[in-house]
Chains A and B, each alone.
Chain A
């Protein structure tokens, strides 16, 4: 399990960067979404309850109870997921409108604002 998490994070980052480097707008946005999921898992791996923040409820002698962990990282991820979900909704609409206006999914066709 402890090997699985870094592998999952690494694959999400690798896939995301691959998609970000493609020319298609849809793939670009899929890449951004994957990247944000990779970061969520990265934050998740930051709270192991050992040296960092402790769980809020501990045993009477201060030791950590089994099955408890630092809840703060999960709260952070929850916030980040909600935000990235809102942004996903926006960028999908933007991709749709851009596709309508440019009549193409290729980023290399979207260069009119660079030249002007």
Chain B
């Protein structure tokens, strides 16, 4: 029970502070940033192993007992998310070295990136509702800085919408925190879960669950709340879009998993039909939106919305099987989506535009880029042997097992439409020959190719070694859905209420 879960957060804080201090010495600052993200990555890979061996890990801040202090909990779900998040951040740092000019570095781009990872990691591990709110604000403020850094007109306009709608979501989250405290009188997630079982009026908890669904849904970009995403995500530099697509919406989805899946399970079961409806509508609207677009990053942005529908479907199935499948899919899509943004962004950098009508002939010019793009899109569409196949297979299996036919068939259809929409980019950018003189184009630098290629290889490896990942997420899904086990890990065998009553006596 040592306080070791705080280690990666401390390393990121120190890394960010040092990177600000030594911002003038370019290589020193870069070294500090890479060092602290590497530490985070190594730590979270070790955490994956520790959680698999020993089960949930719990740390209490300052040694305060569970319902009183701030608790950090790492189970399978948080360990997977943490590992993927730090892998993506590391790749983004490498991609930024190759793609961003020096101005960004001077205006604290890398410290903001570290703070983003800090907020995301805190949100993945915290076991306290209000603390989750604080981590969300940390990551939001860092993302506000990242999306407007550069200050072009498009960025300011897109950033404005992003900021306003995310702040509105945060305020809804805060209302939810206040109401939870008013009803159950605690903010520790395990304690909330325990006290909710004795609440006399179940209606009020359902209302609160809906407030949280709204708050996290607007951050995860589910159906009626996603409009901020496609108008803002294509405006900042590619590296920023890529890390946003990998982390931000997924934190919203993860928080829904944690809060509805673990803490408010009864409400999840009440709301499940509605959540499933939102899920299939989100999938369809996202993919249709993507089909109408003609800009690489806007197409990919709409696909983020569509893929969030799959993550929400895992939640809506309201079982450990569904949550496990959703986790597997979310981890896969974080990796692949970021990879596609890297590769599409590299193509954009070559042509100087993101309009796919004005591009073409890249398959001959840059075969490596084309191969990795192709592997990436078949992974996103869900074809074997990539990880996307197993992510979708698990979700469809869970859907069929539970008889959720409508959402399962829409999920299958959306897979086909996704392939269609991605092949549009493939045809226009890589396959067709219409571009005047391909040989005049600049070559893609290894720094731009490598991060995306590595992530696609990770996706391929996860697809080839799928049994490991499936086993891991199955256990993680059971841990996530195991409310009694969660309470016992956090507060001890007698539960939080016993600790609470002993302490106030």
Chain A residues near B (Cβ < 8 Å): 20, 25, 28, 32, 35-36, 39, 42-43, 45-47, 51-54, 72-73, 76, 79-80, 83, 86-87, 90-91, 94-95, 97-98, 101-102, 110-114, 116
Closest chain B residue to A86 by CB distance? B141
- 3 residue pairs, one from A and one from B, having the closest CB atoms: A46-B182, A43-B178, A52-B185
Query: Are A32 and B185 in contact, with the CB atoms below 8 A?
Result: no
Query: Are A90 and B158 in contact, with the CB atoms below 8 A?
Result: no
Query: Are A43 and B235 in contact, with the CB atoms below 8 A?
Result: no
Q: List 27 A-B contacts (CB under 8 A).
A: A32-B164, A35-B171, A36-B174, A42-B175, A46-B178, A51-B185, A53-B186, A54-B504, A72-B181, A73-B178, A76-B177, A76-B178, A76-B181, A79-B134, A83-B134, A87-B167, A90-B145, A91-B167, A94-B159, A94-B160, A98-B157, A98-B159, A102-B156, A102-B157, A113-B154, A113-B158, A113-B231
B298: interface (CB < 8 Å): yes
Query: Are B163 and A91 in contact, with the CB atoms below 8 A?
Result: yes
Complex Cα–Cα for A94 and B181 (A): 33
Query: Are B160 and A32 in contact, with the CB atoms below 8 A?
Result: no
Complex Cα–Cα for A83 and B136 (A): 11
From B144, B157, B181, contact of A46 by CB (8 A): B181
Query: Looking at chain B, what size class is its interface with the partner chain?
Result: 35 or more
Query: Are B295 and A116 in contact, with the CB atoms below 8 A?
Result: yes
Closest chain B residue to A54 by CB distance? B504
Please indicate the chain A residues that have their CB under 8 angstroms from the CB of B174 in the complex: 36, 39, 43, 80
Cβ contacts B262-306/A at 8 Å (1 or 0 each): 000000000000000000000000000000000100100000000
Please indicate the chain A residues that have their CB under 8 angstroms from the CB of B56 in the complex: none
B137: interface (CB < 8 Å): yes
Complex Cα–Cα for A49 and B348 (A): 59
Known contacts A39-B175, A52-B181, A113-B232; is A101 also within 8 Å of B130 by CB?
A: no
From B137, B182, B504, contact of A87 by CB (8 A): B137
From B148, B157, B178, B179, contact of A113 by CB (8 A): B157
Closest chain A residue to B167 by CB distance? A32
B234 to chain A, nearest CB (A): 7
Query: Are A116 and B163 in contact, with the CB atoms below 8 A?
Result: no
B440: interface (CB < 8 Å): no
Please indicate the chain B residues that have their CB under 8 angstroms from the CB of A112 in the complex: 153-154, 157
Complex Cα–Cα for A102 and B158 (A): 12
Query: Are B153 and A102 in contact, with the CB atoms below 8 A?
Result: yes
Total contacts A-B at CB 8 Å: 102
Complex Cα–Cα for A87 and B141 (A): 7
Please indicate the chain B residues that have their CB under 8 angstroms from the CB of A45 in the complex: 182
Complex Cα–Cα for A87 and B182 (A): 26
Please indicate the chain A residues that have their CB under 8 angstroms from the CB of B130 in the complex: 76, 79
Chain B residues near A (Cβ < 8 Å): 130, 133-134, 137, 141, 144-145, 148, 151-154, 156-161, 163-164, 167-168, 171, 174-175, 177-179, 181-182, 185-187, 231-232, 234-235, 295, 298, 504
Please indicate the chain A residues that have their CB under 8 angstroms from the CB of B177 in the complex: 43, 76
Complex Cα–Cα for A107 and B205 (A): 37
Query: Are B164 and A101 in contact, with the CB atoms below 8 A?
Result: no
Please indicate the chain B residues that have their CB under 8 angstroms from the CB of A83 in the complex: 134, 137
Known contacts A32-B167, A53-B186, A87-B141; is A73 also within 8 Å of B181 by CB?
A: yes
Complex Cα–Cα for A51 and B185 (A): 8
Complex Cα–Cα for A35 and B295 (A): 36
Known contacts A86-B141, A97-B148, A113-B235; is A52 also within 8 Å of B182 by CB?
A: yes
Complex Cα–Cα for A87 and B145 (A): 11
Complex Cα–Cα for A28 and B181 (A): 29
From A32, A72, A79, A95, contact of B171 by CB (8 A): A32
Query: Are B134 and A101 in contact, with the CB atoms below 8 A?
Result: no
Please indicate the chain A residues that have their CB under 8 angstroms from the CB of B153 in the complex: 101-102, 112
Complex Cα–Cα for A97 and B151 (A): 8
A13 to chain B, nearest CB (A): 10
Please indicate the chain A residues that have their CB under 8 angstroms from the CB of B186 in the complex: 53
Sample of 6 more A-B contacts, CB < 8 Å, known A20-B168, A39-B175, A76-B187: A54-B504, A76-B178, A80-B133, A91-B163, A102-B157, A110-B160
Complex Cα–Cα for A102 and B182 (A): 44
Please indicate the chain B residues that have their CB under 8 angstroms from the CB of A39 in the complex: 171, 174-175, 178
A18 to chain B, nearest CB (A): 15
From B133, B179, B181, contact of A47 by CB (8 A): B181
Query: Are B179 and A46 in contact, with the CB atoms below 8 A?
Result: yes
B196 to chain A, nearest CB (A): 14
A21 to chain B, nearest CB (A): 12
Complex Cα–Cα for A97 and B144 (A): 14
Query: Are B171 and A43 in contact, with the CB atoms below 8 A?
Result: no
Query: Are A28 and B164 in contact, with the CB atoms below 8 A?
Result: yes
Query: Are B231 and A32 in contact, with the CB atoms below 8 A?
Result: no
A85 to chain B, nearest CB (A): 11
Please indicate the chain B residues that have their CB under 8 angstroms from the CB of A110 in the complex: 157, 160-161
Query: Are A101 and B151 in contact, with the CB atoms below 8 A?
Result: yes
Complex Cα–Cα for A36 and B177 (A): 13
